[in-house]
């Protein structure tokens, strides 16, 4: 597989509704898209880094730098036998998984398109539709949160995740449970607590959540293992799992009973599959997380979610929850039963709207 060019673009897209987590709020995304071309086909990938280095150390601007100076030159150095070889090419880059993962994902889309096959087939996917949940940010009031949950339940979503932080947790969950006693519900703290809060977090057991996502530090495994011993609610790790080794070690230590796999956070499809396989072997279910992606990243998440051990509803939801107009056609739609049907079109399975992307682009550079 010989590449001709790689093009980086930054697009700006305002969110339909601002999204707030324990580490801050976002109202406009600055998204890097990677386009790879060669042998008459084109592949697309999305860098899932945030605008600011608050979820992890990566950011839109840093990703551009890492791609331009380190990862793209490696990809262009010589032909690739397959996309599964790509991650090994830049294994000397420490961290920056979201940056390199956007390029890696574009190479998988390209390979699938060269073979005229859907990406989910190339990955070894089995599911024909994927169950969907939604992630609901911190709201200005409990009343607004309850209204949003009501809307998403009415739309058919199979589980609701709410963001929590100190001061927006027990009272909020109490009200949500009072109103929705049978809802499949979970909470995500994005590292807002420490082990000193363990008694406080144990109170959450009373809400019989499906799981508590990333309560403790973004780089911690050991304290999560101590917390999991102490609480009944299953702990799910997000931020802490950046490599297959982290997944192995977290499982060995009993730091979680569920893993959130994000394609970007772990550096692309090869690593995501390795983490998937390691969790499957250990009997740990996984689900696909989201990073407020455009349609390109969303389509990649859908393909990833077809792997067999993606058995819990993910944070992959309809385009219209995020964007007035997405960059793919058709847009991602969710059925009234809260599922996304898998497309069998080649590659990521959705047509990329190049004209719209050019319109949204604020910078662009083609290599070589
Ligand atoms: O922790 O899962 C997270 C969004 C931005 C940063 C981190 C997270 C999230 C989400 C939103 O929960 C998921 C989505 O709807 O894309
Ligand atoms: Mg999370």
Distance from residue 4's CA to the centre of ligand 1 (Å): 34
pLDDT band at 294 (very low <50, low <70, confident <90, very high): very high
Instruction: Give the ligand with the smallest distance to the CA of 319.
Output: 1
Task: Determine the pLDDT at residue 324.
Answer: 98
Chain-centroid distance of CA 238 in Å reads: 9
Q: Which of 24, 191, 236, 315 to mutate to test the pocket of ligand 1 (most atoms within 8 A of CB)?
A: 315
Contact 7, 32 (CB under 8 A): no
What value, to the nearest 5°, has the Cα angle with vertex 100 and ends 307 and 359?
Answer: 95
Residue 79: exposed, middle, or buried by beta-carbon count in 10 A (0-12, 13-18, 19+)?
exposed
Both tokens of 271, joined, read 């690593």
Measured by CA distance, the residue closest to atom 13 of ligand 1 is 290
* Residue 291 main-chain phi, psi, to 5 deg: -135, 45
* pLDDT (average), residues 195-215: 98
**In terms of DSSP H, where are the helices of 59-169?**
60-66, 72-76, 86-89, 97-114, 119-123, 142-155
Torsion, Cα of 34, 37, 42, 47 (10° steps): -10
* pLDDT more than 70, % of the chain: 100
68 annotated active-site: no
Distance from residue 52's CA to the centre of ligand 1 (Å): 14
Pocket flag, ligand 1, residue 101 (CB < 6 Å)? no
Residues 317 and 332: their CA atoms lie apart, in Å, by 8
Residue 314 CB-half CA count within 13 A? 32
- Tens digits of residue pLDDT in 315-345: 999 999 999 999 999 999 999 999 999 999 9
Task: Determine the pLDDT at residue 285.
Answer: 98
Residues 238 and 257: their CA atoms lie apart, in Å, by 12
- The whole-model pTM stands at 0.97
Task: Determine the pLDDT at residue 338.
Answer: 98
Distance from residue 304's CA to the centre of ligand 1 (Å): 17
pLDDT band at 37 (very low <50, low <70, confident <90, very high): very high
* pLDDT (average), residues 287-296: 98
* Residue 63 main-chain phi, psi, to 5 deg: -60, -40
Task: Determine the pLDDT at residue 46.
Answer: 98
Residues 252 and 225: their CA atoms lie apart, in Å, by 10
163 annotated active-site: yes
């Amino acid at each position: 597989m010989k590449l001709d060019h790689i093009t980086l673009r930054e697009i700006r897209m305002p969110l339909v509704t601002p999204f707030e987590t324990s580490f801050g709020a976002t109202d406009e995304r600055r998204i890097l898209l990677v386009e790879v071309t060669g042998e008459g086909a084109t592949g697309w990938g999305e860098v899932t880094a945030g605008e600011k280095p608050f979820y992890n150390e990566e950011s839109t601007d840093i990703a551009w730098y890492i791609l331009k100076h380190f990862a793209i030159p490696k990809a262009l150095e010589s032909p690739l036998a397959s996309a599964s070889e790509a991650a090994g090419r830049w294994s000397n880059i420490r961290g920056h998984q979201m940056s390199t993962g956007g390029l890696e994902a574009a190479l998988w889309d390209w390979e699938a398109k060269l073979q005229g096959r859907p990406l989910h087939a190339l990955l070894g996917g089995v599911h024909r539709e994927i169950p969907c949940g939604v992630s609901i940010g911190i709201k200005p009031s409990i009343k607004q949160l309850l209204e949003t949950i009501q809307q998403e339940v009415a739309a058919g979503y199979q589980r609701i995740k709410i963001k929590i932080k100190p001061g927006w947790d027990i009272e909020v969950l109490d009200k949500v449970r009072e109103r929705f006693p049978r809802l499949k519900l979970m909470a995500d703290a994005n590292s807002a607590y420490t082990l000193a809060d363990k008694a406080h977090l144990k109170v959450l057991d009373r809400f019989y959540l499906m799981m508590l996502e990333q309560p403790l530090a973004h780089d911690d495994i050991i304290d999560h293992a101590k917390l999991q011993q102490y609480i009944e609610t299953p702990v799910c790790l997000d931020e802490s799992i950046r490599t297959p080794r982290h997944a192995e070690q977290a499982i060995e230590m009993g730091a979680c009973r569920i893993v959130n796999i994000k394609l970007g956070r772990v550096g692309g499809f090869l690593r995501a599959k390795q983490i998937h396989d390691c969790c499957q072997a250990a009997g740990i279910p996984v689900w696909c997380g989201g990073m407020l992606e455009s349609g390109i990243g969303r389509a990649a998440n859908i393909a990833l979610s077809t792997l067999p051990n993606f058995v819990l509803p993910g944070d992959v939801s309809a385009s219209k929850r995020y964007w007035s107009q997405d960059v793919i056609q058709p847009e991602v739609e969710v059925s009234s039963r809260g599922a996304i049907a898998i497309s069998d079109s080649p590659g990521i399975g959705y047509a990329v709207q190049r004209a719209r992307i050019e319109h949204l682009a604020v910078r662009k550079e083609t290599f070589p």
